[in-house]
Every structure is written in C-alpha cells, then in structure tokens.
A and B are shown apart, each in its own frame.
Chain A
Amino acid sequence: MNDLNPMGTMPAAHDTLPLAISVRGLAKRYGDVTALDGIDLDVPRGMIFGILGPNGAGKTTLIRLLATLARPDSGSATVMGHDVVSDPQAVRGAIALTGQFASLDEDLTGRENLVMLARLWGFSGSLAKARADELLAAFELSDAARKQVKSYSGGMRRRLDIAASLIVTPGVLFLDEPTTGLDPKARQGVWKMIRALAQSGVTILLTTQYLEEADQLAARIAVIDRGRKIAEGTSRELKSAIGSGFLHVALADNGRLDEAEAILERTLGATVQRSAEGAQLSVVAGSTRAANEALAALISAGIELSDFSMGSPSLDEVFLALTGQPMEEETGGEAS
C-alpha cells in the first residue's frame, strides 16, 4: 500500500479535534467472500474523502460497517469519536447515510417522508413540518412536496434522499455512490450540493466508481480493490505516483480522432487512451522531445489541435497502474 501523504503532514488545526473517522484493520467476511480485508483509514473533520474502487471492491461494506448496519469481524473503527461496535447508538446520532438506492417510502409524499424522519429525530409535529418544508425548498422539491415519491424522477429521488440525511446536521455524511444512475445534469446538481455541504463543515465520506467524481470532489482519495486499500492521497499525489509523462491532446475536429490516434501510436509506440467523453487522447510520451515530434507529426498530417498539454495521468490510468487492471466501467458511466 502506498500511503502517499502520512498523517503527520495534516494542518495543525486538525490535531486538536478527534478525527471524523478512524479505521484500523477493519475486516468483514460474508460466508466465503472477504468483503473487507484489513482497511486503515483516517478522515479529518470537514473533508470530502473519496473511496474509489470498482464494483465489489468493498466500498459499500465499509460504509455499512461505519454506519453500524453491520458488525466488523475484526479491527476497530470510530466515527466522530464513538466506537462503532461498543457505542453504535452514539455513532447513529452523529451520522447520516444516503445509500446506493433511494431509501424512501414510495407510497408516501416527499413531505411525509421528511416529516416522518424529523419526528424520528425527535422534532415535535409543527417543528417537524417546518424542517421538512425548509428542506423541500432548499432542494427545490417544494412543487412536488405533496406528490407520492413513486412519481418522482431519479434526480428528484436522489435530492429527497440527500435531504432526508440532513434533518439534523450530521457530523459525518456517508454517500454511497451518490450519482450512480443519474443523468449528467442531475449529477452536476448533486456535486454542487456535496461541495456546499462540505463548505458548511460536514465531513463527507463518499464512495464512487467514477474516477472523475473522486477527482472533482474529494480532497483525499483512497483507492480500494478486493477489500484492500491499495493507495491513498490527494488526486495529484496519486497521479504523480504513477509518473507524469503523459501527453494529452484535444482535436478541433473530432471526426479525425481515429487518424490522430494512429499517428500518436506510431510516433510514440504506446497505446493511446481516449477520455470517457472521447474528446481527448492521452498517451505516455516518455520525454518532451518525443512529445514534440508526435505533435509535429499531427500538424504535418493537417490535424488541427484545439488543446494539448503534458501532464498527469487520469485516475483511469492510475487505477490501471496500481492494480494492473482497468477500472470497471458501468454502462451509462462517465459523464462530464
């Protein structure tokens, strides 16, 4: 495991408060399947921390253990200073969980769902309604407040689901794949929400299989694969650990992508990767001179570039380098 940024380099302000999440050697088996195989994790307060990994890597199991939905087989974990095994009720009071699938009562209206949860948190009738209406307004659901959730779109459900996690301000908000299945516009909306929450001081632990999402949102990222943490650091640290000799090229005319790809492969002798949207080509260049020659070859073939840069690999490439396997992409996956 590469711990690229040891805890000692954290800003001094965080030293005075206990960590939002501290995990040591956490392991969980389901029958013959080892879902988590000894994970260590430290998440300071107020940070967006990303857990990146393919399907089945153990992301959801980690969140279930931290949210006290399952008990670890070994290892320990504290959330906001409370032990998940010995004091689960205190942990539950300090967290909120938005699972992978909208956990709402489909038969009830959006407002009734929120009022029910507000009552469960202890708000009296009128305060519960007031808090529900406040959240509905903040999440732009006021118009649909009195409609049954079964009539909501995917984006509306997700917004209501996140609103349901903010009845009281949680110390830690767990978001398990918050944008899986959302269209690009709804995804942008959820990203904005998550950033705004983090700015208000809520610690957010989010899992994702979208590299772009981790890159966009998370201050630190732990990459997990088959129940183990294989790397941790900032997005930039993860990228620099792999090497930085990547040439990124964007074309003025995307109709000539195939042609450009062939030229780059021929001149640099390496496999060219397309970005998820297909608008950018990336290839290991080795040296700036080799990169210059490749660019010259493109220009002499009459291919006009809209942008080019020498820089870091994408997280896709990071994952490939760390695990020797490409990230699993789900259908309807990356969107920018």
Chain B
Amino acid sequence: MSSLENGPAMLSNLARPPRPSAISNALTFGWRAVLKFKHVPEQLFDLIMTPLMFTLLFTFVFGGALAGSTSDYLQFFLPGILVQTVVFNSVYSGMGLSTDLSKGLFERFRSLPIWSLSPFAGLMVGDVLRHTIAGLIILTVGLVLGYRPEAGIAGVVASFVLLIAIGFGVGWIFIVLGLLIRTPMTVMTIGFTFIFPLVFASNIMVRPETMPGWLEAFVVRNPVSHMTTALRGLMSGTATGGEVVLALVAPALLTIVLSPLVLWLYRRS
C-alpha cells in the first residue's frame, strides 16, 4: 500500500482545466451511451428480438389471412413494426436512468460543476443509437423477406427521422417513470401497462375498418395509428404534410408537458 500513503501521487499536477461547455458535457454523456453498447452487446438482442418475432409471426402465420398474401401483408406491416419497435425501446433510457439513480451515480453527476441537463442529453444519444440500430436491423430483415419501400432511400431516411422524433417524445414518459421509480423492472412494467393498449389497439397490425365500431373510433384517434400512417406514407412516397404533422402531435405534446416535469423532478430534493 506504499503508494496509497503518497498523497501528492493521488493529486493532480495538471492545471485545472477551464470549465467545459454544455455541449462538451453532453458529448461526454453521449460517449458513455456508446460505451454501453460496446460493453453490453446483449442489449441489442433485447432490442430486436420482440420486433423480429412479431415480423416473422405476423407475416407468415397471419399474413395470408389478414391481407391475402404474406408479401402484401409484409408491405403493410413493416412500417408499423418499426413504430412499435421504437415505442417499446423507448423504455431503455428510463430503465437506465432508474439504474443510475439507484446506484447513486446521479448524486455524483449532480455534485459536479456541469450543465445540469447534460446527463439527459446522454440518454437521448443512447435513444437515437438504439432506434437507428434496431430500425436498420428490422428493415434489413424486411428487405430480405421481400419488403420494398417505394419511396426509396429518401423515404427510408425521412422515415427514420420521424421514428427518432417519435422515440424522443415517447421517451419522456419513461424518463419521468425512471426519475420516480428506483427499480428498473418496475419502470418497464408500469410503462408497458400504458404503452401496450396503445400499440395493439392501433392500425399497426390490422386495418381499423375490420374492427367493431367503438374500437375503430378509438383506433383512428390513437396517436400510434397516426404515427404508423405517416410512416407508411413516407416509406411508399404517398405521405401528406398533414399526416406527418398529425404523427408529430403526440411526441410534441409529450415533450412540452413532460420535459418541465422532468426538470422539476430532477432538481427537487
């Protein structure tokens, strides 16, 4: 333990650096999010397993019955499964936040002279990465199975931008839960209690016209349906500005309402 007794070795000879910018702080947290992918590659498995199973199951088991042929159904279903993937995977930043809080890591971050919101910027970098990676894998599987986005590369790029915006908006729900709940699994369970009905009672898997009237009335107003409609439009090149705006209403509202709440929860003590 000889060097432990040597105080000056522990202390820095380097000059104290000037206080870094908010962007520098945010980038550092983004770097942390990237490292998490490197060290916990298993999380990719979690990210894509459910959507992959859904894609294969619905296309090959139900596709023929639902749309006449599996290839027609895939063409209908794939944009929807991308929306479902992003909405479900938004849970991870909330769970990560809950873990950081329960481990006391946020106490250290909050005791540092940094931009106080930079840890959230890191969560968002992680989200964008997650949504992009999972989306690309699902899209690749779709392409292999015969899915063809009529709008080509431009449509795919526009779709991914919309997906990331959707993930950003929905992510606030889980960030609020992550700040309130100290067990990551509970964040997931409670979050999914709200998310599941929204995802399944939507137009992701079947056309609302086939549903009973009361359900159809809900489904056509469900924000997840608006997101799916816009994404189908972007992929096929038929999207209208109105459809895209409708898809963005819910994410925008969630951001406007929940981001101040997140700030308040983060700063209260």
In the assembled complex, A95 has its CB within 8 A of some CB on chain B: yes
Report the Cα distance A196→B114, complex, angstroms. Answer: 28
Determine whether the beta carbon of A169 is less than 8 Å from that of B11: yes
In the assembled complex, A236 has its CB within 8 A of some CB on chain B: no
Query: Which of A67, A127, A166 interacts with B10 by CB under 8 Å?
Result: A166
Query: Which of B4, B6, B19 interacts with A189 by CB under 8 Å?
Result: B4
Asked if A97 meets B111 with Cβ closer than 8 Å, knowing A108-B32, A108-B39, A123-B17, the reply is yes
Q: Which residues of B contact A166 (CB under 8 A)?
A: 10-12
Determine whether the beta carbon of B11 is less than 8 Å from that of A108: no
- How many residues of A are counted as interface, with CB atoms below 8 angstroms from the partner's CB atoms? 59
Determine whether the beta carbon of B107 is less than 8 Å from that of A192: no
Asked if A168 meets B12 with Cβ closer than 8 Å, knowing A107-B36, A121-B20, the reply is yes
In the assembled complex, A68 has its CB within 8 A of some CB on chain B: yes
Determine whether the beta carbon of A105 is less than 8 Å from that of B111: no
Determine whether the beta carbon of A106 is less than 8 Å from that of B103: yes
Determine whether the beta carbon of B20 is less than 8 Å from that of A120: yes
Determine whether the beta carbon of A105 is less than 8 Å from that of B105: yes
Q: Which residues of B contact A123 (CB under 8 A)?
A: 14, 17
A 170-207 binary contact with B (CB < 8 Å = 1; else 0): 00000000000000000011001101110110100000
Query: Which of B1, B14, B31, B111 interacts with A119 by CB under 8 Å?
Result: B31
Query: Which of A70, A106, A117, A127 interacts with B17 by CB under 8 Å?
Result: A127
Taking A100-B104, A138-B4, A188-B1 as given, write out 15 further A-B residue pairs in contact, using a Cβ cutoff of 8 Å, ordered by the A residue number.
A64-B269, A96-B111, A99-B107, A101-B103, A102-B103, A106-B103, A116-B31, A116-B32, A119-B28, A120-B25, A120-B28, A120-B118, A124-B17, A138-B10, A193-B4
Query: Which of A97, A122, A167 interacts with B20 by CB under 8 Å?
Result: A122
Could you list 6 A-B pairs, sorted by A, with CB under 8 Å? Answer: A90-B113, A97-B111, A99-B104, A120-B114, A164-B108, A196-B5
Asked if A139 meets B4 with Cβ closer than 8 Å, knowing A102-B104, A112-B35, A122-B18, the reply is yes
In the assembled complex, B112 has its CB within 8 A of some CB on chain A: yes
Asked if A140 meets B3 with Cβ closer than 8 Å, knowing A103-B103, A121-B112, A122-B18, the reply is yes
Determine whether the beta carbon of B6 is less than 8 Å from that of A196: yes
Q: Which residues of B contact A196 (CB under 8 A)?
A: 4-7, 10
Nearest Cβ distance between residue B167 and chain A, in whole angstroms?
21
| Residues of B in contact with A, size category | 35 or more
Report the Cα distance A89→B103, complex, angstroms. Answer: 23
Give the interface segment out of A49-57, A129-137, A289-297, A312-320: A129-137
Asked if A140 meets B107 with Cβ closer than 8 Å, knowing A107-B40, A134-B12, the reply is no
Chief secondary structure at chain A's binding surface? mixed
Determine whether the beta carbon of A131 is less than 8 Å from that of B8: no
In the assembled complex, B207 has its CB within 8 A of some CB on chain A: no
Nearest Cβ distance between residue B122 and chain A, in whole angstroms?
10
Return the chain A residue nearest B104 by Cβ.
Answer: A103
Return the chain B residue nearest A105 by Cβ.
Answer: B105
Q: Which residues of B contact A95 (CB under 8 A)?
A: 111
Q: Which residues of B contact A102 (CB under 8 A)?
A: 103-104
Report the Cα distance A89→B20, complex, angstroms. Answer: 13
In the assembled complex, A226 has its CB within 8 A of some CB on chain B: no
Asked if A192 meets B35 with Cβ closer than 8 Å, knowing A93-B113, A121-B20, the reply is no
Nearest Cβ distance between residue B106 and chain A, in whole angstroms?
8
Asked if A103 meets B108 with Cβ closer than 8 Å, knowing A120-B25, A134-B12, the reply is yes
In the assembled complex, B257 has its CB within 8 A of some CB on chain A: no
Determine whether the beta carbon of A197 is less than 8 Å from that of B7: yes
